[in-house]
Structure 1
Amino acid sequence: MGGQFSRDRPRFNDTLDVIKFLCKDLWTLVFRKQIDNLKTNHRGVYVLTDNAFRPFSRMSAEVSSQAVIRAQPFLWFPCGIVRGALAALGITATVHAETSELPGAVFQIKTVASAAAGAGAAPGVAGVKS
């Protein structure tokens, strides 16, 4: 996926460029919209927020903790897409997603170097202008 889709683009300079590509181009290709917010601690942790995650669009009418619990399995496939795209572009990472309020979803990406160093996402996460 990464090779053909990114063939006509200049090479990425760093991991942040790859994450921006994922948030803009790949997310638009897969979910027909860009990620709403990208934050990073600049140590290999990236938090992507989609305030209107398309797979949850039909679930959003039901507001309850049970709806949020039932929505969690719908995040597994997008996590796999993100992890696979990153791997195809040479970045090994873990991807975790959660939702606390439908139809929003938050994806946390930790590159292997940052996961090994034990970097956390919550403290010191800064916004990134794309």
Structure 2
Amino acid sequence: MEMVDLMYRTTADSKNDKESVFYKLEVLGYQVGQSLVERFTRDRPRFGDTLDVDVYVLQDNNFRWFLRMSTEGGGAEATKKAVLYLWFPCGLIRGALNNLGVVSVVIAETTVLPQCTFQIKIAKS
């Protein structure tokens, strides 16, 4: 995930700059998710009925992006730095669902590497 490192390194240390990096990563993931669904569902019909309001929790115990991640401090420091890498997949999931006609909010968290949890809140549209 070179793009995450590049965006993070090229910003100043102010809180607003970091939030703009998070936003850019999420938007980039959103666009990729929309493009992937558009490509994969090109020859398939759209969903006929949308889902009700619901919350889905997806837990990945071996999230590939975190498998070889480590820092000198390890533990809490590594987990804190790993959160930056979750913005892109959150956007990717949200973009994919949006292109399928499902309005959602995606939140991710990690407490122990390489595990992460995605919480997907779906609203009836």
Q: TM-score category by the smaller chain? A: 0.5 to 0.7
Moved runs in structure 1, 4+ residues, more than 3 A?
8-16, 60-63
Which residue matches 1:84?
95
Shift of 1:7: 2.8
CA distance in 1: counterparts of 2:110 and 2:117, whole angstroms = 6
Task: Check whether the contact 1:79–1:95 (CA below 8 A) recurs between aligned residues.
Answer: yes
TM-score normalised by structure 1 residue count: 0.58
Query: What's the secondary structure of 1:74's corresponding residue?
Result: helix
Residue 59 of structure 1 aligns with an amino acid whose one-letter code is M
Residue 3 of structure 2 is aligned to residue 3 of structure 1: no
Mapping of 1:1-130 within 5 angstroms? 1=35, 2-9=37-44, 11-12=46-47, 43-59=53-69, 63-113=74-124
Distance 1:67 1:50 in 2: 17
When the two chains are superposed, the root-mean-square deviation of aligned CA atoms in Å is: 2.4
Partner of 2:6: none
TM-score normalized by structure 2?
Answer: 0.60
Higher relative contact order, structure no. (Cα contacts within 8 Å, ≥ 6 residues apart):
2
Q: Which protein has the bigger helix share? A: 2
**Alignment partners' CA distance in 2, 1:112 and 1:45:** 9
Q: How many residue pairs get matched?
A: 88
The answer to whether the 8 A contact 2:79-2:110 is kept is yes
State the distance in 2 between where 1:74 and 1:12 align: 30
* Structure with bigger gyration radius: 2
